[in-house]
A = this chain, B = another copy of it.
């Protein structure tokens, strides 16, 4: 097996789990947040900075890398780790989500999905076999089965067909996977908002005995309460001895709520995306740095933060950088937002260890400005 999940302890206050995930490129403390490096780079930052700010694993995107620079080139470079100079664990998604969300002209058949590149309009076809071939070339530690991400809202019929196809596709992915010894293939649970479909999806996916499972089709426009409700329902059905990954979710409140419900892994582009617009996540809530009230504010982004940006720069300076369109500004906030999030995960792990995650949640949501 490429990876091994070690369950260290379960929280007495909640469904949270403390664990370690052993991968070919290192051991990850779970629950963990994975910064996203869509195009083989976490936007604006170096791998050394990612390590310094606490990243233990990063995510990269199969769809984007397949289109540019191409999986052949990355294979020639010795794989994604070598290509992008990141020697820690990597997870690649299957491309399924992007094929559906970035393409209006896609055509889905049982065989796979035909779509047009968002870069140049050229026509492409990705099947479960092709997705795995690309991911085998990229060489990430964890790869994802090719799924059909059910949109919200969807009819019961649509969600049912979509999850059943996802199961059939997962079987084809397993068959096509050529690097089982050093790449762990995760299955994706679909089923939309329908609990019986989610249950069916979990049960049939578990039968495939994969090294880990992720929950897909959430954070796609549904109310947060519905998302939490579905996780509440699915999580206890998932095997204890395997990691649970909630795809595309990473706002600070959702991280806490997800962990409480037994999730081990998260990823999200939010941290670096809002950083590029000058928005910092802080212990006092969001700081929109271009706001004129920060013009003469010589305090750090977050007075409770120990990151490089907060130790060395003022809000006034970072605001100046954004007003002057200087790249260092978004570097400093990207760094801070990822540090803030990974530090939150560290605090969460500590709270699980001490069986006080619900207490931590209350403090965090009330004292730190993330009200429910």
Counted per complex, copies of this chain come to: 2
Cβ of A350 under 8 Å from chain B = no
How does the 8 Å CB contact mask read for A44-73 relative to B, with 1 for contact and 0 for none? 111000000000000000001000110001
A76 in complex: contacting residue of B40, B296, B313, B320, CB < 8 Å: B296
| With known contacts A69-B316, A76-B296, A316-B69, A321–B41 Cβ distance under 8 A | yes
The 9 closest A-B pairs by CB, nearest first: A44-B327, A69-B320, A39-B324, A85-B312, A41-B328, A41-B326, A83-B317, A39-B326, A85-B313
**In the bound complex, do residue A328 and residue B76 qualify as a contact, i.e. CB atoms below 8 Å apart?**
no
Name the distance in Å between A61's Cβ and chain B's nearest Cβ.
Answer: 11
Name the distance in Å between A92's Cβ and chain B's nearest Cβ.
Answer: 16
Name the distance in Å between A313's Cβ and chain B's nearest Cβ.
Answer: 6
- CB-contacts of A294-348 with B (<8 A): 295-296, 298, 312-314, 316-317, 319-321, 323-324, 326-328, 330-331
**In the bound complex, do residue B68 and residue A295 qualify as a contact, i.e. CB atoms below 8 Å apart?**
no
A323 in complex: contacting residue of B69, B314, B323, CB < 8 Å: B69
How does the 8 Å CB contact mask read for A18-48 relative to B, with 1 for contact and 0 for none? 0000000000000000000001110111100
Q: Which residue of B lies closest to A47 (CB)?
A: B312
Chain B residues near A321 (CB-CB < 8 A): 39, 41
Q: Which residue of B lies closest to A311 (CB)?
A: B85
Chain B residues near A316 (CB-CB < 8 A): 69, 73, 77, 83
Chain B residues near A41 (CB-CB < 8 A): 321, 326, 328
Interface residues on A, range: 20 to 34
Interface CB pairs A-B, < 8 A, 21: A39-B320, A39-B324, A39-B326, A40-B317, A41-B326, A41-B328, A44-B327, A44-B328, A46-B328, A46-B331, A64-B324, A68-B320, A69-B316, A69-B323, A69-B324, A73-B296, A73-B316, A77-B314, A83-B314, A84-B317, A85-B317
A324 in complex: contacting residue of B44, B45, B68, B330, CB < 8 Å: B68
- Cα distance, A62 to B115, chains bound together (Å): 53
Q: Which residue of B lies closest to A69 (CB)?
A: B320
Name the distance in Å between A9's Cβ and chain B's nearest Cβ.
Answer: 38
Chain B residues near A69 (CB-CB < 8 A): 295, 316, 319-320, 323-324
Chain B residues near A44 (CB-CB < 8 A): 327-328, 331
